[in-house]
Structures are given as structure tokens and as C-alpha cells.
Structure 1
């Protein structure tokens, strides 16, 4: 997966689609790749679409769309969705195992 991601980034595309691209990676490697994608996204004119079940993958996204039964149930940034205490909030709490809220910066 890391090699495929690297090859995609080297082509300098205007649209990047990552469909569960980090699902098989450990959390440290996922964070490393996420940081690289964020850095590249900030320095180039392109759109990055991240499709993920692991919410930590999309934590820093400009826009998050939460799908339920094929429809957009909620959308916004991470903290906005947490504050709404809806479906995204419930999924987030489940994934972090009711641990202390993770600081987003």
C-alpha cells in the first residue's frame, strides 16, 4: 500500500482518491502517511478524497461527509461533528473506546 500511495503522489494528480488506503497499516505508519498527504495537499492545487472507516484517517479533513444507508447523514469538520453529538460522534466514541477526547490541532 505504501508503494502504491507513493507512486500516486509522484504523478502530481489534480485528484487523489484514497479508498481505505491505510486500513491495513499500523497506526504509526497511518499517521506518517496522513501527515505526508496533508503536507502535499496544503502545497498543491488538487482535491484529496479520503474514504475510511477508521475515523483517525479523516480527522484533519477540511470536510467530512458521514454516510448512512447510502445518504449523507452529516457533514462538517471533525470538531463540528463532535459538537453535534450525532452519528459521527457516536462512531468516534466507539472507535476511541470512550477514552479521553483526542486533541485536534
Structure 2
């Protein structure tokens, strides 16, 4: 894919995401069809995922740590996950599936 086209669409995706508008509204205002918007979004995401598959030799790690006793957000033993500026606080072991989904989503972005 042409790098300038990829950059243009990534800028458009960012603009839409930060605009506070729905995709429908943003596309109507920019006179871009929703079909075209979603086509490029899917195409770029697919290429990113294919690129990640090629880089499987270097695994991704997320820092996991137990909260300190002074962390007032947690009233019982739990886990804090911080990764790329995001944070997830888990206080129940049943939340592990949520943490797994969280890390998968962030690794795709």
C-alpha cells in the first residue's frame, strides 16, 4: 500500500475518533462514503495484523503488579495492569478474561 495513502487514512481515522461525531455524521460532513471509510479501516488494520504476525519473534509484555496498600482505589487484594498509558484495575479473579481481552485490543492498536 502507498505510504501516503495509509498516512492520509490514519489521519482521517484519528480526526473522526477525536471529533466526537459518529462515523455516519463525520463521513457525511467530509463527503466520504461510510463504505470507503470502513474499507480503508479494515484494510489498514489487516495489514497491521499481518505485520504483527511477521514480528512474532519479539513477544509483547504487559507490566503486571499488585497494588500497594496505599492505593485507595482498591479495597481488597487485586491487580493493576498498566500498558502504553492505559490502566486496568482488577479486584476479582473472574476479571481475568476481561484483562485478556483488554491486552488483545491494545496490542492490535
Pairwise TM-score range, normalised by the shorter structure: under 0.3
Report 1 or 2 for greater relative contact order, CA contacts < 8 Å, sequence distance ≥ 6: 1
TM-score (norm 2): 0.26
Please identify which structure carries the higher helix content: 2
CA radius of gyration, larger in: 2
